[in-house]
């Protein structure tokens, strides 16, 4: 049973209920359906057949959402690319995914057109300005196309490819099936999220599963989604007040910016009663401030990852307050949602007892089918049929899991996953660099930021600004180091010759504290 069924049901039960709000454009479920099936007809006329990829480089908007559903309607696979990526990163992903169409908005027009022309991909203009030459106009496509029939995808068929940072400098395309997405949507409902009267606000980008999952969930219950093009704290406050937003998934950095906004108190946020947060841990200080600033709201932590479509565990509000808080339950990442199985294992994948730290493994109907064109990485990640999350943690006697360490060498900055090795590979390409290491360091707003330690060649000189500029030319800004230490002593190594990152972090913090 595919995504298309969810849309048909939304039309059956809530034809005239608002489906989407984007700026001053609103559409009901029946209007959304009618646009989607015509758009699907247009894609079809442009040659898209089942299994074909359709890539999107756009900020959130109604047309993004329409593309997300129109593509699988005719059996295609949506490839949403990160708008913050560099042209090199976008090129690599487009080459790998090989899409038949590339959909662009105003903000991503220039880079997208260049890549489309370079790689010979038909581009579609879904922006607000006039459609440029040699591009197909999105609205024109809808206006002139016949509705397409639903090709009827099954549970196993591919729905999206979502790129995540790669451990080897190459991004991994996470393949999520229709079944993955539908089961994750229903699990959300089973956990009390996205109920039919919700007015859900999407501040997370639609190229993330954190943006896709809530929309698919709202489609499954017939709820309303308000799309924001990006996160602007005052615009979020305005939108909550104007649309009586009830629910949103935010990363802790966003919650902080929201409640610390100087005009926070000027807006009526009383409708905003369910706040999902995830992607990175929330500090105790921020949680306390948020509970005070938004007294009507229930907070629900969502733990997961792209490979899990993304939801795998939830920590409900009652664990953040009162007696549960006294026993430290607010520090948990959550409890497996109904439908998802968790195991904590040792280095041989054997289960460990409760409260013993090990790697967190997960499986369930939300588990990806694999990484696009990458069987070796797929086999490694899914060894024994379980997703190896790379998070170290333990489980308490009530099934709550606590994340205590990352087994994988990854930094989470403002909700974005950054693999250290990807950044290290870029820095190492600088001619003056002999060796380097990248670590995450604490940051008040972004939780962590990227810090590089660089050892130059004996005969070379290089400074922090050089390294940062070098990285910015090659990878997305959010992945680039925000600070760089140039040093002469060699990096601390383990007996096996591995860089001891933990020691580097301790060194950094000691120096930072000494200042």
Contact set with a second copy (CB under 8 A): 1, 5, 8-9, 12-15, 155, 182, 185-187, 189-190, 220-221, 335-336, 338-339, 341-342, 363-365, 395, 397-399
Q: What is the three-state SS of 350-410?
A: CECCCCCCEEEEEECCCCCCEECCCHHHHHHHCHHHCEEEEEEEEECCCCEEEEEEECCCE
CB of 18 or CB of 269, closer to a second copy: 18
Rounded Cα distance between 370 and 354, Å, is 29
Cβ contacts of residue 475 below 8 Å, gap of 6+?
85, 86, 88, 89, 422, 423, 426
Smallest gap, in angstroms, from Cβ of residue 259 to a second copy? 31
Residue closer to a second copy (CB basis): 185 or 251: 185
Work out the angle between the directed axes of helices 178-190 and 209-221 (0-180°, nearest 10). Answer: 70
Compute φ and ψ for 276, nearest 5 degrees. Answer: -90, 140
Select 68 or 344, whichever has its Cβ closest to a second copy: 344
> Coil, helix or strand for 300?
strand
CB closer to a second copy, 266 vs 398: 398
Separation CA 361–CA 164 (nearest Å): 18
Beta bridge partners of 364: none
- Beta carbon of residue 154, minimum distance to a second copy (angstroms, whole number): 10
In whole angstroms, how close is the CB of 341 to a second copy at the nearest point? Answer: 5
In SS3 terms, 462-475 reads as CCHHHHHHHHHCCC
Tell me, rounded to whole angstroms, the distance of Cα 326 from its chain centroid. Answer: 32
Q: How far is the CB of 366 from a second copy (least distance, A)?
A: 10
Nearer residue to a second copy within complex by CB, 83 or 367 = 367
Q: Residue 334: how many CA atoms within 13 Å on its side-chain side?
A: 26
Minimum Å gap between C-beta 84 and a second copy is 34
Sign of CA dihedral 96, 98, 103, 104: positive
Q: Which residues of 61-86 are buried (b: 16+ CB within 10 A; e: fewer)?
A: bbbbbbbbbbbbbbbbbbbbbbbebb
Compare residues 185 and 320 and give the one whose CB is closer to a second copy: 185
Q: Report, in Å, the least distance between residue 377 CB and a second copy.
A: 23
Residues present in the chain in total = 515
How far apart are CB 378 and a second copy at their closest, in Å? 19
Shortest Cβ distance from residue 185 to a second copy (Å)?
Answer: 8
Residue 168 or 197: which CB sits closer to a second copy? 197
Of 5 and 264, which has the nearer Cβ to a second copy? Answer: 5
Q: Which is nearer to a second copy, 128 or 318 (CB)?
A: 318
Q: Which is nearer to a second copy, 359 or 409 (CB)?
A: 359
Element containing residue 240 per DSSP (H, E): helix 233-243
Secondary structure of residue 448 in the 3-state scheme: strand
- What's the start-to-end Cα distance of the chain, in Å? 59
Q: In whole angstroms, how close is the CB of 220 to a second copy at the nearest point?
A: 5
Structure tokens at 345: 């294992």
Cβ 340 to a second copy shortest distance, Å: 8
Shortest reach from residue 244's CB to a second copy, in Å = 20
Show the tokens assigned to 374: 């990458």
Of 12 and 270, nearer to a second copy (C-beta) is 12
Q: Which is nearer to a second copy, 85 or 200 (CB)?
A: 200
Q: In the sheet where 122-125 sits, what is the strand order?
A: 136-137, 122-125, 101-104, 53-57, 77-80, 158-164, 172-177, 370-371
Q: Is 447 exposed, middle or buried (0-12, 13-18, 19+ CB in 10 A)?
A: buried
Q: What is the DSSP string of 217-233?
A: HHHHHT-EEEE-SS--H
Q: How far is the CB of 188 from a second copy (least distance, A)?
A: 9
DSSP 261: S
Q: How far is the CB of 12 from a second copy (least distance, A)?
A: 4
Which is closer to a second copy, CB of 398 or CB of 444? 398
């Amino acid at each position: 049973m595919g995504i298309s069924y969810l849309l048909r049901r939304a039309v059956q039960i809530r034809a005239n209920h608002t489906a989407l709000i984007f700026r001053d454009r609103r559409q009901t479920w029946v209007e959304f359906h009618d646009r989607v099936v015509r758009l699907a007809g247009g894609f079809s006329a442009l040659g898209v057949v089942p299994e074909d990829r359709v890539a999107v480089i756009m900020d959130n908007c109604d047309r993004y959402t329409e593309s997300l559903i129109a593509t699988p309607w005719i059996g295609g696979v949506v490839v949403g690319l990160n708008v913050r990526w560099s042209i090199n990163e976008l090129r690599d992903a487009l080459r790998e995914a090989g899409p038949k169409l590339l959909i662009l908005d105003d903000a991503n027009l220039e880079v997208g057109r260049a890549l489309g022309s370079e790689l010979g991909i038909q581009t579609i203009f879904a922006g607000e300005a006039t459609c440029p030459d040699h591009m197909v106009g999105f609205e024109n496509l809808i206006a002139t196309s016949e509705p397409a029939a639903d090709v009827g995808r099954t549970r196993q068929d591919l729905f999206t490819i979502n790129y995540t940072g790669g451990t080897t400098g190459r991004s991994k395309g996470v393949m999520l099936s229709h079944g993955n997405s539908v089961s994750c949507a229903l699990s959300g409902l089973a956990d009390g999220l996205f109920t039919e009267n919700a007015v859900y606000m999407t501040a997370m980008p639609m190229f993330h599963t954190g943006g896709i999952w809530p929309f698919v969930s709202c489609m499954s219950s017939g709820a309303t989604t308000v799309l924001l093009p990006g996160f602007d704290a005052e615009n979020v406050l305005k939108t909550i007040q104007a649309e009586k937003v009830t629910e949103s998934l935010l990363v802790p950095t966003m919650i902080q910016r929201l409640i610390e906004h100087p005009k926070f108190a000027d807006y009526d946020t009383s409708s905003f009663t369910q706040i999902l947060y995830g992607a990175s841990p929330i500090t105790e200080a921020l949680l306390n401030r948020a509970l005070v600033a938004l007294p009507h709201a229930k907070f629900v932590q969502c733990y997961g990852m792209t490979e899990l479509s993304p939801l795998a565990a939830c920590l409900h509000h009652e664990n953040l307050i009162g007696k549960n808080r006294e026993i430290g339950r607010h520090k948990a990442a959550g409890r497996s949602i109904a439908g998802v199985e968790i195991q904590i294992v040792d280095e041989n994948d054997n289960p460990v007892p409760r409260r013993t730290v090990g790697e967190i493994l997960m499986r369930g109907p939300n588990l990806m089918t694999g990484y696009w064109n990458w069987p070796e990485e797929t086999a490694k990640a899914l060894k024994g049929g379980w997703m190896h999350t790379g998070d170290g943690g333990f489980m308490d006697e009530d099934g709550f899991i606590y994340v205590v360490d990352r087994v994988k060498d990854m930094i989470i900055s403002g909700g974005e996953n950054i693999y250290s090795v990807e950044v290290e590979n870029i820095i190492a390409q600088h001619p003056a660099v002999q060796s380097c290491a990248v670590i995450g360091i604490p940051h008040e707003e972004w939780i962590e930021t990227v810090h590089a330690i660089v050892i130059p060649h004996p005969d070379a000189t290089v400074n922090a600004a050089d390294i940062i500029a070098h990285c910015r030319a090659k990878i997305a800004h959010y992945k680039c180091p925000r600070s760089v230490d140039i040093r002469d002593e060699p990096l601390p190594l383990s007996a096996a010759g591995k860089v001891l990152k933990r020691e580097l972090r301790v060194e950094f913090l000691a120096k930072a504290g000494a200042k």
